[in-house]
Structure 1
Amino acid sequence: MTALLEAIEQALDHWDRQPFAPEPLAQLRTLRRQLAEQWLATPDAAMATQWETGRAAQAALWDCNLRYEALTPEERQWLEPIERELAATWPAPRLQAVWAIALYQRAETWLPDLHGLQLPPWAIEPFFDYCLAFPCFFRELGEVDRYANFTIALVDYLHEQIFRYPQSAQWQKIALTFSNLVNLVPLYFCDRNLRSTFAKRAAILEFSLRLAGHQLEYDFVPRSPDRPKIRLGILKTNYLSHPETFTTFPVFEWLDRDRFEVILYVIDRDPDLLNAYQQRRSGDAIVPLVGDLKQQVARIRQDDLDLLLVATIVTNSLHRVLMIGAHRLARVQIHSVSSPVTSGMTHMDYYLSGQLTETATAAAHYQEKLLCVSGPAHCFDYSLEAAEPRLVIDRASVGIPEGAIAFVSGANLYKTIPEQRETWAKLLAQFPDSYLLLCPFGASWKRNYPKVQFWRRLRETLAAHGVNPDRAIVFDQLPSRADVKAVLQLADIYLDSFPFGGANSIVDAIEVGLPVVARESDWFRSRQGAAILRDVDLGDWVARSEADYLALAGRLAADPTLRQSIRHHLTQALAQPPRCLDSRAYAAEVSQQLMRALERWQGDRVE
């Protein structure tokens, strides 16, 4: 296995340096086949030992972008007897066959119901590592729903078994494994209510923390009548130049300091925007959280907080803010737009959102109670951002002919699921002289994107609709938001993604005066961009179906006068400014919501 691992690593290095060359990809396919055949030839008695020597090679192939390449016809044919064997022997499969097929296919493509599955103890962690693998790119129509169906069923099953057998050493180990590995972000891209799944995920995480000896519960005494101010904590990993940061400052910067005492708890201080913030607002305490988890929790509890806002995403993978935030740290705990779904966490009392973002039935989507400001959920403050664009480009330099219509989207690669790419291909087919500009490789999501696989699949989709693939122009990762806006300025119309729409990307578009077409459903994550459009009185450009989305984009593409009128409207709307960019007005509304939440806590204690 050592020699095979070295060969895999060399081939991966070659592929990384020459991602479009066929030779390293062909070599990796050959090495994958060799590893699979070694698994199939391993005797049962030797599997545990063989795994210890072969797991690094397996992980190298699991983690690389080979998993986003389509299988060749020869590979599909070779896998057929393995698939038949697994179907016939489930739920007591040979692990040799499991490890072999796992090199080629994601779990949801072949894995049957998990009930009754028999695994030796050494295989539990790698098996669930495989089942919970994070796909950041979906190739085919229907893959997102298939992934969602499998993952939701997996979480349901694990939750059921863990809490049916809480004293079982095996299920305790599975709970810990799940907690260390789970990342359900790809569920954002399905069009359904995710409350139950994220609540069960949170319950397993909390169970695991208790197993590790952490005391999540804490009883706060009634507030002292002598305390003149509401003590508000903000818990955040860092204050880097990131969308989370620009939606966090508006929550607290302009709160009335005669009413609020603000304490900023931060894990990582270097480098960040807090130094610039302190020059503008010097009175807030900044508390770096050091030490282990118990020490960090104790440090926050020491401050006897009235309110705590958890301002870092807690619905992705396990990280320190998520673990801290699972504890009772304040009388009232609040989460907000950094996570586009419910946290599901026991000690998260409220979700801070907006009336323009939520529907009348939105309470059913959250484990938390809703606090809603009157406008959109998001408010952005980019005033501390100092980046200047590095790109010097124009339409001619990127290959857009004079007179052509240019659509653009800043949606991340994750959000551009196959169904979205199909919609865009239909739009380009409808307007033969149009182009599509994409900026899908944002630094805030991932560093090692499957760029080549995305680019090739996009071109295949366009070609299938009779569109010249060269009419799609894909930009590599751009240095800053300013450079993204430089690309947006080349275009005529901005296209939002669905079902996970944009928020900061919509603000980028309207700030450069672009007409925007969005599509919404019933969930926060599909309505955040639509809410911003309604905030600037452009709600007529929000679709509820693919047909409406195409029709709205078509109207804009066919009518330059209409596009110009929207640009003029945006100039006037941004001069006011709208609520999504008015930090002072937003803070005034947040202040009222925070005080009401604390009053409810006090009222509940009296009762």
Structure 2
Amino acid sequence: MVRKKRRKQQATTSGDVQNTGAMLQRALELHRQQHLPAAEQLYREVLALEPKNANALHLLGLIHAQRDDHYQAIELYNQAILIDSAFAGSYNNRGISFNSVGEYRLAMDDFKHSLMLSPSNPDGYNNLGNTLNKLGRVEAAITAYEKALMLNPQYVDGYYNLACSFNKLRRYADAICNFKRVLAINPNHLKAFSNLALALRHSNDWAEYSEFEARMLVIAKSNSVAFKPFHLLLWSDDPELQLAYVSRYAQHEFPLTLKPFSHEPSTVAEKIRVGYISTDFRDHAVAQLTAELFELHDREKFEVFGFALGAKDSGVMRKRLENGFDHFIEIGYLGDSQAAELINEQGIHILVDLNGYTSGARTHIMAMRPAPIQVSYIGYIGTMGAEFIDYILVDKHCVPDSLQPCFTEKLVQLPCYMVNDRKRTIAASSVTRAEVGLPDEGFVFCCFNNNCKITPSIFDIWMRCLDRVPGSVLWMVGDSEVIEKNLRHEASLRGIAPARLIFSPRTRYAEHLARQPLADLFLDTLPYNAGATASDALWGGLPVLTCQGKSFAGRMCGSLLQAVGLPELVVGSLVEYEAMAIKLATEPALLRVLRKRLVDNRDSSLLFDSERFCRSLEQAYQAMMEEKSLL
């Protein structure tokens, strides 16, 4: 009797296993066809019959990951791995989910474990490379992608990520080569096309510029999210297009499943706790502008935190910043969720993002809303299009109130949007024109903007200025031989001797400030104006000429010139821009008057009044607290 019962139980169990096998196969077919609800239902039915089915747990986790519910996905992968510790796929996919929530070191461990179990899987090396990139280990990431491509020479993701890594290292020729390999395999790869356009832009390779510009704008107007919002600032001066694209980007990249912190009303704050978060607390333009601000905050009313996302740094600027905050906390080694939790635990009232969508940004931290009030400032020059950013700091010149509909953030109008550091030192040793490669005689036009801001139309104007002003030269920063070669070639195409373009290498900040007066006039770019570079020029006594655009990025230099008392150097069209450049170069008395006014007014001007900026900002912070009933 007992034997019959056992045989019946064994038969039932065997039948269940056979049945679950068929169910699992059917669920997998539905999953591959993207019928996720039906596939999920079948996976759950399998688990009801066979709770320790590692495949079903893993595939159910994959469905949650596809819905951006990575925390639940990780839990299901955990269960699958407990059942089958040699399940390479679960380690790999758990690593992907860890990556998605910013747990990069856990992700790296999982990818390494997956590769130990399945060393011939190119996906594992590709995913490992992605994580190494997130951790700033770009050279190691390149090695991982190259291993993936050795395993599969037609691996599109491997070529794409390899190219992006070369872009980060400014190895543009290598980046261009690999983006073209992607497009040779898949001509419809929009991200590869967009990044190829950017690499060509960075290297000033303009052979197909008009085609790339037109298609980039078509992509921006479509429903795709093919490139980072920062790149659009280089191509478009249209604030409405910027809003539409960046809003789409924010919805795609930062889904609501990121589980934001809740902020219940608490006791009224005695001091306002302000946190500044950045990857650039080092010898970087953002730090060079903001260092004095952190020192100037009124400690009777404010407690100031710095949250450092970048790699540790032992430089002079880093030490100054560490001393300028009440609390300086390294969070770069933490995953996004851990970093957000740490910030939240500090009881921060106002969190100011100094990155936005710029290089190295960890925007997922902001998306979890670790503070009740969140502000965008100075890093990204435009709307973030995200519901988790409440305010953006601007002024009425760079973003007039009429542009409020083009911003998801509430505009906070300051006297001048750009803060400056009055303590930045100019090297004492004098430098001569000859020492930087400039001729002893002749008018020196210059532009120290990042070369990717230079467009063919702006360069056309510059070359016409050189043509109209005999003996003049154009002075720029030389980032690479490729860039110098391309720009000199473009000059020759426009009938200008390549030798009239002078390139100087980057140098120490104080020395760069000291060489500014060797130039006669700084020529700005459009649609993306000079920001920190214009501030440096004005601080060094060098006049800047700008053409005012429509967007924040196209108006910021005009804001600086208004604040320093040089409104004549803000023009409204490229025709006026060219005419004014030639006029200033050929009427030395006029330029001398403007230059003297700049030097005489510099220290008393609104632009360089750091104390006034700080007090205005603190008033804005207090108003934000009152709006949120926290004061």
TM-score normalised to structure 2 length: 0.67
Q: Do structure 1's residue 223 and structure 2's residue 266 form an aligned pair? A: yes
Q: Does 1:302 align with 2:345?
A: yes
1:569 is displaced (CA, Å) by 0.7
1:152 to 220, 244, 256: 220
Pair 355,246 (structure 1): closer, same or farther in 2 beyond 3 Å = farther
Distance of aligned partners of 1:411 and 1:189 in 2 relative to their CA distance in 1, 3 Å threshold: same
Alpha-carbon separation, structure 1, partners of 2:405 and 2:619 = 23
Query: Is structure 2 residue 298 aligned with structure 1 residue 256?
Result: yes
Matched, 1:515 2:543: yes
1:484 partner letter: H
Establish whether residue 199 from structure 1 lines up as the match of residue 247 from structure 2: yes
Moved over 6 A (4+): none
Q: CA deviation at 1:128?
A: 4.3
Runs of 5+ consecutive residues of structure 2 not aligned to the other structure: 1-149
Deviation string 1:508-553 (CA, Å, 9 cap, x unpaired) is 2222322221111111111111111111221111122111011111
Q: Which residue of structure 2 lines up, in the alignment, with residue 581 of structure 1?
A: 608
C-alpha distance 597-512 of structure 1, shift in aligned 2 (>3 A): same
Change (3 A) 1:253 1:315: same
| In 1: Cα distance, 2:468 partner to 2:295 partner | 47
Q: In the superposition, relative to structure 1, how do residues 68 and 301 fare at CA in structure 2: closer, same or farther (>3 Å)?
A: closer
Distance (Å, rounded) in 1 between the aligned partners of 2:367 and 2:397: 29
Q: What is the identity, as a one-letter code, of the residue corresponding to 2:368?
A: H
Deviations 1:97-130 (A, max 9, x none): x9758259xx9xxx6xx7xxxxxxxxxxx87456
2:230 is aligned, of 180, 185, 204, to 185
Cα distance in 1, alignment partners of residues 164 and 272 from structure 2 = 52
| Aligned pairs for 1:278-317 within 5 A | 279=323, 281=324, 284-289=326-331, 290-311=333-354, 313-316=355-358
Is 2:160–2:192's contact at 8 Å kept on the other side of the alignment?
A: no
SS for the counterpart of 1:305 is coil
The CA distance in 2 between the partners of 1:61 and 1:321, in whole Å, is: 18
**2:171 maps to 1:142:** no
Return the alpha-carbon distance in structure 2 between the equivalents of residues 239 and 487 of structure 1.
25
1:343 is aligned, of 361, 379, 384, to: 384
How far 1:349 sits from its partner (Å)?
Answer: 0.5
8 Å contact from structure 2 (residues 172, 203) kept in 1: no
Q: Aligned with 2:352: secondary structure?
A: strand
- Alignment RMSD (CA, Å): 3.3
> Is the contact made by 2:376 and 2:389 (CA closer than 8 Å) also made in structure 1?
yes
- Partner SS state of residue 372, structure 2: strand
Distance in 2 (alpha carbons) for counterparts of 1:237 and 1:358: 25
| 1:157 match: secondary structure | coil
User: Hey, what's the Cα distance between the residues in 1 that align with 2:613 and 2:385?
Assistant: 26
* 2:492 corresponds to which of 463, 484, 487: 463
What does 1:392-411 correspond to in 2, within 5 Å?
393-397=431-435, 400-411=438-449
In 2, Cα distance between the equivalents of 1:452 and 1:49?
33
Residue 488 of structure 1: how far off its partner (Å):
2.3
Identity of aligned residues (%): 21
Q: Distance in 2 between matches of 1:143 and 1:67?
A: 21
2:526 equivalent in structure 1: 498
Shift of 1:372: 1.2
Counterpart position of 1:472:
501
> Which residue type is aligned with residue 102 of structure 1?
L
AA partner of residue 319 (structure 2)? N
Matching residue of 2:621:
594
CA distance in 2, matches of 1:597, 1:440: 43
Normalization by structure 1: what TM-score? 0.70
Q: CA deviation at 1:132?
A: 4.6
Where does the alignment leave 5 or more consecutive residues of structure 1 unmatched?
1-46, 72-97, 115-125, 159-177, 442-450
Which of these residues, 345, 358, 364, is aligned with residue 399 of structure 2?
358
The reply on whether 1:372 has 2:413 as its aligned counterpart is yes
Amino acid at match of 1:560: P
The superposition leaves residues 77-116 of structure 1 with CA deviations (integer Å, 9 ceiling, x where unpaired) of xxxxxxxxxxxxxxxxxxxxx9758259xx9xxx6xx7xx
Amino acid at match of 2:527: P
Aligned residues: 467
Alpha-carbon deviation of 1:152? 0.8
CA distance in 2: counterparts of 1:529 and 1:278, whole angstroms: 30
User: Alpha-carbon deviations, 1:404-458, whole Å to 9, x = none?
Assistant: 11111111111112222111111111112211111253xxxxxxxxx33322332
Whichever of the two has the greater Rg, that structure is: 2
Deviations along 1:249-308, one digit per CA (max 9) or x if unpaired, are 3544322222212222223442253532455x57x1222225322221111111222211
Distance in 1, Cα, partners of 2:546 & 2:393: 23
Q: Note the alpha carbon deviations across 1:44-64, whole angstroms, 9 max, x for none.
A: xxx995425995699469945
Whichever residue aligns with residue 456 of structure 2, its letter is P
Q: Which amino acid aligns with 1:244?
A: V
3-state SS in 1 of match to 2:379: coil
Aligned match of 2:74: none
Task: Kindly indicate whether the alpha-carbon contact (under 8 Å) linking 1:333 and 1:347 is maintained by their aligned counterparts in 2.
Answer: yes
Q: Counterpart in 1 of 2:73?
A: none
After superposition, the Cα gap between the structure-2 partners of 1:526 and 1:333, relative to the gap in structure 1 and judged at 3 Å, is same
